[in-house]
Amino acid sequence: MSGKRDLTKQHVASILGGVSPEIAAQRLQPVLESPPRVPTGSAKVSLTRARAMWDEIGGDPALQEILLDKCPDDLELYQGNIENAIGLLRMPIGLAGPLRVNGLAAKGDYPIPLATTEAALVASYHRGCRLLTAAGGCSALVLYESLSRAPGFVFETATEACRFVVWAVGEFDEFHRIVATTTSHGQLVDIACTVEGNHVYLNFEFTTGDASGQNMVTLATQAICDDIIARSPVQPKRHYVESNLSGDKKASARAFVSARGKKVTAEAHLSAELIAKHLHTTPQAMADYWRMSAIGGVLSGTLGIHGHFANGLAALYLATGQDAACVAESAIGVTRFEVTENGGLYASVTLPGIMVGTVGGGTGLPSQKACLELMGLYGTGKARALAEVCAGLLLAGELSIIAALASGHFSRAHRKLARQRSGKGAVIESP
């Protein structure tokens, strides 16, 4: 028992960081005097307003030069995408692929722009793309698409809650009509309910066309809520446009039984010869590693089983103007590897919540639009194709990272590429 007490003392000491408990308590108290100067907030985006913001905060001129003065003269183009603008962030964009995708919406060879500061990431996805393309491409398709918003309603009793549910479910056609007045792109396709005591959670499912659609469904749901308050025979005590049931911007098991955005799958059959040439390992070694990693995922309680979906999604989302926070919900799913009867490898990925759009949001900004246009996926009618390309990219990434781990090359690749700071570079065909 004394050993546990000693560990506890060490832990407490590490929290205090070498100061006494009395000093630590003083440091944690609120400081109310001499509050810092708070700049005047503004949604206006311009060089003039940005310079005024720098003047208000008294920022280091050297930092202003980096973040603002070296910006192009088109800061105004970001109006509606940012508040309190003080400059632009520059990130390197690497190219993976081309990736051949044989999808119901995406059909062709796609160069993949990836924005990241993580060395070895583009190299890894690049070799996975090259393998899939050499094999004739991956097959990919959108299985289902919907985006939910889940308002919450509070009643006096469970009896009132149940009466409300009976009424609300019967009003679907009217709710559908109301949604049509808020958007020409989205549609209400389903309604479900969850009752918890005197609380009611209504889950509205929408299609959102080629937009990612979070703002679209929020405005549509608000219009429904306004109608409910105006017409419901059972009035709630309180209501909220989102009750945290929809899974917005967070990983949830709920997505597996429905969809969150676009549910997408991609697969490929790969010969042992191609795997040896591009990944320097064998189908059996990859399947063996995948099996152990799948059990490891179960033991750790992860939502889904995969290697690193978030890496590829975050880099592609940043490059193409998607909502980067949606990686939290998009990067869940299942990777599966099996050795085939002819000694090759069957590989697939399935993701229930790919949140992407090819119009709206940040997709029309200069760099982001250029990246989408590079892929041939900017504009109306391209969102399903982008989702299928996402799935193909993630399949490429899973093949590459699992091969690296199965063959013992994972650390070597990071050591080789992450430490290339001299500018000479390295060939990345076989990281």
CA count, 13 A, side-chain hemisphere, 185: 20
Q: What average pLDDT does the segment 161-182 reach?
A: 96
Please check whether residue 370 is in contact with residue 95, taking contact to mean a CB–CB distance below 8 angstroms. no
Q: Which of 121, 137, 89 is nearest to 312 (CA)?
A: 121
| Residue 2 CA: distances (Å) to CA of 12, 13, 14, 16 | 15, 16, 18, 21
β-pair type (333-339, 304-305): parallel
Tokens of 342: 């002819």
209, pLDDT greater than 50: yes
Collapse the DSSP code of 404 into the 3-class scheme (helix H, G, I; strand E, B; otherwise coil) and give the result. helix
414 is catalytic: yes
151-240 is a CATH 3.30.2010.10 domain: no
β-pair type (333-339, 152-154): unpaired
Query: What length is written for the chain?
Result: 431
Q: Which residue has the higher pLDDT, 239 or 213?
A: 239
Give me the DSSP letters along 122-179.
HHHHHHHHHHHHHTT-EEEEEEEEEEEE--EEE-SSHHHHHHHHHHHHTTHHHHHHHH
CA angle 12, 17, 23 (to 5 degrees): 90
Percentage of the chain modeled with pLDDT above 70: 93
Q: What average pLDDT does the segment 234-261 reach?
A: 87
Identify the band that residue 376 occupies on the pLDDT scale cut at 50, 70 and 90. Answer: very high
One-letter amino acid for residue 418 of the chain: A
Which one is catalytic: 118, 227, 267, 288?
118
Match 């609300």 to its residue by tokens.
Answer: 168
173 is catalytic: no
Q: Which residue has the higher pLDDT, 416 or 81?
A: 81
> Do the domains 96-145+262-418 and 151-240 sit in the same CATH topology, yes or no?
no
Please check whether residue 430 is in contact with residue 127, taking contact to mean a CB–CB distance below 8 angstroms. yes
Which one is catalytic: 126, 278, 306, 414?
414
Task: Give the pLDDT score at 137.
Answer: 97
**Which strand (E) or helix (H) includes residue 345?**
strand 345-354
CB atoms within 10 A of CB 49: 17
Task: Give the pLDDT score at 431.
Answer: 41
CB-based contacts of 51: which residues, under 8 Å, 6+ apart? 64, 68
What span, in angstroms and rounded, lies between the C-alpha atoms of 420 and 29? 45
Give me the DSSP letters along 251-318.
--THHHHS-SEEEEEEEEEE-HHHHHHHHSS-HHHHHHHHHHHHHHHHHHT-SEE-S-HHHHHHHHHH
Identify the band that residue 429 occupies on the pLDDT scale cut at 50, 70 and 90. Answer: very low
What span, in angstroms and rounded, lies between the C-alpha atoms of 80 and 252? 30
145 is catalytic: no
CB-based contacts of 227: which residues, under 8 Å, 6+ apart? 174, 175, 178
Which one is catalytic: 69, 288, 323, 338?
323
What does the mean pLDDT of the chain come to? 90
CB atoms within 10 A of CB 358: 28
Match 């070296």 to its residue by tokens.
Answer: 70
Report the predicted TM-score, pTM, of the whole model to 2 decimal places.
0.89
430, pLDDT greater than 50: no
Residues 135-166 as b or e (16 or more Cβ within 10 Å = b): bebbbbbbeebbbbbbbbbbbeeeebbbebbe
203, pLDDT greater than 90: yes
CA count, 13 A, side-chain hemisphere, 39: 18
Q: Which of 303, 304, 330 is nearest to 315 (CA)?
A: 330
Q: What average pLDDT does the segment 319-340 reach?
A: 95
**Domain segments of the chain: what residues?**
40-90, 96-145+262-418, 151-240
Q: For 96-145+262-418, CATH number? A: 3.90.770.10
